[in-house]
């Protein structure tokens, strides 16, 4: 329990840096999704599932940063 409560600056900093890339990535995916939906509203249903799956894939990068908190 002692090891878990004593924080250094490195872990949180790694977590913070690791969130930058996935943030940009999910933002780009969402922008493309909104553009496509605005142009062709009928593709919203099929694209929604693909968008969430892609967002989940991109999210893994931030979660790997989260893992480094415990290393």
Partner 1 sequence: MQSHFWEASLYGMPVHVNTLIMVAVALVILLSITRLLTSSISIRPNRLQIFAEMLYDFCRSITFSSAGKRGDTFLYYVGSVFFFVLTCNLLGQFPLKIFELPHGELMAPTGDINVPAALAVGSVIMYFFFGLKAKGLKYFKHYLSPLPDLMAGQSLPVKITYATFFWPFILLNIAEDLTRPGSLMIRLFCNIFVGEILTGVAHSASHYLLPIAVMGIELFVAVVQAYIFAMLTNIYISLLSEDHDHHEDEHDASHTTQEETKSPSLAVA
Binding-site member from 8, 21, 49, 71 for partner 1 (CB under 8 A) = 49
Cα–Cα distance, 28 to 42 (Å, whole number): 21
Nearest to 62 by CA among 12, 28, 11, 22: 22
Using an 8 Å Cβ cutoff, are 16 and 69 in contact? no
**1 near partner 1, rule: CB under 8 A:** yes
Told to check if 4 binds partner 1 by CB under 8 A, we report yes
Least Å distance, CB 21 to partner 1, is 16
| Contact residue for partner 1 among 20, 38, 64, 71 (CB under 8 A) | 64
């Amino acid at each position: 329990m002692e090891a878990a409560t004593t924080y250094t600056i490195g872990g949180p900093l790694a977590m913070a840096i690791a969130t930058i890339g996935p943030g940009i990535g999910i933002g780009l995916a969402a922008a493309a999704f909104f553009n496509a939906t605005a142009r062709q509203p009928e593709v919203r249903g099929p694209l929604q599932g693909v968008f969430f799956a892609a967002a989940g894939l991109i999210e893994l990068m931030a979660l790997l940063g989260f893992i480094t908190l415990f290393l």
